[in-house]
Structures are given as structure tokens and as C-alpha cells.
Chains A and B, each alone.
Chain A
Amino acid sequence: MKTFDRVGRETNALFEYAGGLALLSRESFGFLFRLRVRLNETIAQCALLGVQSLVIVLLTSLFTGMVISLESSQQAVAYGFSSFVGGAVAYGAVRELGPMLTAVVVAGRVGAAIAAELGSMVVTEQIEALRSMGLEPARFLVVPRLLALIVMLPLLTVFADVISILGGMWIAQAYAHIPYDSFLTSVRQAIDFSDVVRGLLKTLVFAVIIVIVGAYQGLSTTGGAAGVGKATTFSVVLSIILIFGTNFVLSFLLFGTS
């Protein structure tokens, strides 16, 4: 009986959580579509969430491109397929690793920051103060972050795609003596513009996941400083799981037939 009771309560909590995410998304997109956007704050958030994430995104993408190139170059040289290394690196980077790794890195940095900031605002009554002034926290705090990341995550992904290909190209040349021309020819043969666009489409969904999960966790924080810590950790964990799961579904839908 206790087991049923616990399963029931957990299921209830799961649906309640999913409902909370859905309601916050609906409210935020409602403000977004009605153009009730704080433009200056959105620009500030673009700098804070996007520009300041650039270095970490570039570093992780650079090393990822380099390691893919390193591994594939070894095999390619051994089996005489060195002209395909560029394609392998670009294919992986543009369609999967670029969008997903960028999203995961940004979830770790930005999702945590959003949850921590909003959670701190809850425990110091700043969110209640906004409500008492008749200002909607979703419009005031969530929408600028949402719009900023919807704009910035695809841009960061473009940088990530480019830097991982460049890193791969350098390693392929340095390690397996694959000429730059040959590498780039292989890149052009392996991917086209639609691959890049479809990869970037995925990042729009990832941006929504990162901001809505972070904001919902922050806004539903309870229990003071410890609560903020829990909200931040859970926000990052859940965002990353959702990004991986959603990436599979989106890849299936976008690339499943190509």
C-alpha cells in the first residue's frame, strides 16, 4: 500500500512539474508573441548569456573537433581513407556535436545562472516585490532571457561548428599530414547548407529548454540558500537530460531520412 501511495505521489509530482514548465512556457511565449518584451534587458542578457559563453563554447568545440579528427585520422590513414577525415569531422560537428555540445555547455553555465539568480530573488522576496508592483515575473525576467538565448544559442553554435572544423583540420594536417585543401574538399562533399540550418533549428529548442527549466526551477525555489543550490543543480541535470533526449528526437525527425 505504501508503495502505491509513493508511486502515486511521485507521479502526481511529475505531472505537476511538467504542468508548471508548460504554464511558464505558455505565459512567456504569450508575452513574446504580444511583443511585450523589455528590449534593453534582452540586449543585456544577450551579452550576459551569449557573448560571455563564447570562450567556453569555443574551447570545448575546438578540443572536440580536434579529438574527432585525431581518432578518425588514425583509422583513415591505416585504411587509406584519409580524404574522408574532413567530412567525418564536419558531419559530426554540424549535425550533432556542435548544437548539442554548445547547448550542454550553455546549460551548465547559463541554466545554472538563471536558476541561481531567480532562486536568490525568490528567497530575498524580490519576485514577490515584482508581483506586488503588478509586474509579471515571466515578462520581467524570463522573456528577456528566453529571447536572448533563442538569438544567441544558434550564433554560438555557428562559432562552435566553425572552430571544431578548424581544430579538426589542424590536427588532420599535423598528425596525419592530410592537406588543408583535401580536408576542406571532404567537408564540402559531406555537408551542405541544409545540414547547418537543421543543426541550428535544434538549438532553438535547446534554448527554450535551458531557459524554461532554469527559470522554473529558480522561480519555484523554497528553503533559502540550500534551496537555491538544489534548484541550480537540478536545473542543470534536467536541462542536460532533456537536451540529450530532445536531440535524439529532433535528429530522427530532421535527419532521419537523409
Chain B
Amino acid sequence: MTVQTRNLVARIEEVSLAFGDRVVLKNCSLDIVEGAITCIVGLSGAGKSTVLRLLDGLIHPQSGHVYVLENDLTAMTEEQINTVRRKISLSFQFAALLDSLTVGENVALPLRERTKLSNAEIERTAMDALASVGLGHAYNNLPAELSGGMLKRAGFARAIVTRPELILYDEPTTGLDPIVTKLITETILRLRQKFGGTAVVISHDLPSIFAMADYIAMLFEGAIIACDTAERIRNSPNPIVQQFLAGSETGPIPI
């Protein structure tokens, strides 16, 4: 299922992937539209995070192609993929900040390692990124000193600090209370407005998804079974999509 109405930033084409005997993706295809927020939904264990990792080149499919910013990641070496990764950021489910560094040092890390900016410029840019997610005061804190929501926002700050063309958010609202979930959702929207770029979001949180998504793709049994604008997905005639959105136990999805 593809959306081809606008320019594409990334495309997953006929990808199949299995971990041992467990088939995760089966001829899966997905287009990521430039400038849009695309949310990928699906059951737990459906392979949503795997799709994000494919887009970041962290894992490679057994067959098919993954195109990101006009590069075929499946045909590139790790060193070549690293050059593409300079334009992508992945925000992890549990932030994955390096616990030996302060929050500020974590956010500054991509700049320190990838750019030739002066220390002062790096610190100022990292502070700006933290301030944009409301964590300007946490620069010198260690990750262990932050709450779950603050950690996620610090992860966002690290993801946006290099102004990437594509940001991948892995379950940004999972495990958070409704207030922090709303705050995180608003942060993602505000970051998109402020810095532009394209975003792919993995989430189970339907209110949050409908609040931010331009496009929604549903992953089921290893393939994208529906991908369209948020409004069309809401009104999709597909019984699997409807059962998922309704959170119903009855329907074609095996429980």
C-alpha cells in the first residue's frame, strides 16, 4: 500500500525479514511522504519498531529494498549508511541516553562527534534544543535524575539537535500519564513546526496519533494493510483497521 501524492523521503519496498523462524515482515511496502508525520500503528509485536530500525539502517532485510533520502540502504556498507544517518535521527522508546554523560552532554554528542563547531557553539545549540522541549534547566542533570517523560523529551532534543531531515520516534508516549502524553504529542507537533522535516512515529496511543498524524499506516501480519490520511483511516472500511481503532475483541484480528 503506497501513498504517492507528494515527494517521498523514504520507501520500504517489498521487504521481508525474519528473526530465526519468526517472520516479522512479509513483502512489506511503505512510503514516507516528505514534510508529513506518518504514524505506524499495529498490534504489539507486529514489527513496528523493526520498520523504524530498517529506516535507520540498524537492521537489514533478507529481501526487498529500503530507500532513505534517495539512498538504497540495502546496498550500502555500514560506513556509507553512517553518512545517511547524519540526516536521520531515531528517538528511542526509553530515550537510550548514555547514562555516563549528563543530559546536556548527551544532546551535544551528535554535534561534538559529527561537526567541527566550537565548544561554545555546541553547548549553545544543545541548550537551545533542550529549551525547545522544555528542559533547559536539566542540562547538567544525569539521565537517572529525570522522570520518564523528561527522558523522552531529552531524547527528542538529542534527535533534533542536528536538524535532521527525517526523525523516527519509537513509541514516544508509551507508559506515560495522559498529561505527559499530551505534552509529548504537542512537543512533536511543535518541533515539526519549528524545525520542519519529516517524522515517522510508532505508537499505540490513538488519541495522540490522530492529534499529530498526517498519514497513518497499519501494520498487520508482516505487511502494511492500510496507509492513508488520518481522516480516511478513521473511516476505513477495512474490518481489521476498524477492529484495531475500536479496540474490540471481536473481529478478524486473532486475539
Contacts and interface: CB of A to CB of B under 8 A. Distances in A.
Interface string B116-154: 000000000000000000000000000000000000000
A132 B89 contact: yes
Nearest to A120: B99
A132 B56 contact: yes
B210 interface: no
A134 B92 contact: no
Interface string B75-116: 000000011011011101110111100000000011001100
A249 B90 CA distance: 47
Contacts of A126: 96-99
A47 to B, nearest CB: 13
Contact of A134 (B93, B96, B114): B114
A129 B58 CA distance: 10
A128 interface: yes
Nearest to B109: A133
Given A124-B96, A134-B114, A135-B113, A129 B90 contact: yes
Contact of A133 (B85, B93, B94): B85
Contacts of A26: none
A131 interface: yes
Nearest to A135: B113
Interface string B17-56: 0000000000000000000000000000000000001001
A132 B90 contact: yes
A135 B109 CA distance: 10
A125 interface: yes
A168 B83 CA distance: 58
Nearest to A117: B100
B131 to A, nearest CB: 21
A134 B86 contact: yes
Contacts of B96: 124-126, 128-129
A155 B165 CA distance: 49
Interface in B179-222: none
Contacts of B90: 129, 132
B94 A132 contact: no
Nearest to B100: A117
Contact of A129 (B82, B83, B92, B114): B92
Contact of A128 (B88, B92, B109): B92
A93 B97 CA distance: 45
A126 B93 CA distance: 11
Interface string A152-170: 0000000000000000000
A125 B109 contact: no
Interface string A106-144: 000000000000000100111011111111100000000
Contact of B94 (A124, A130, A131, A135): A124
Contacts of A135: 109, 113
20 contacts: A124-B94, A124-B99, A125-B92, A125-B96, A128-B53, A128-B96, A129-B92, A129-B97, A130-B98, A132-B56, A132-B88, A132-B90, A132-B92, A133-B85, A133-B89, A134-B83, A134-B85, A134-B86, A134-B114, A135-B113
The 10 closest A-B pairs by CB, nearest first: A129-B96, A134-B82, A125-B96, A134-B85, A132-B90, A133-B110, A125-B92, A132-B56, A126-B96, A126-B98
Interface of B: 53, 56, 58, 82-83, 85-86, 88-90, 92-94, 96-99, 109-110, 113-114
Given A129-B96, A133-B110, A135-B109, 17 more contacts: A121-B98, A124-B96, A125-B92, A126-B96, A126-B99, A128-B58, A129-B97, A130-B98, A132-B85, A132-B92, A133-B85, A133-B114, A134-B83, A134-B85, A134-B110, A134-B113, A136-B82
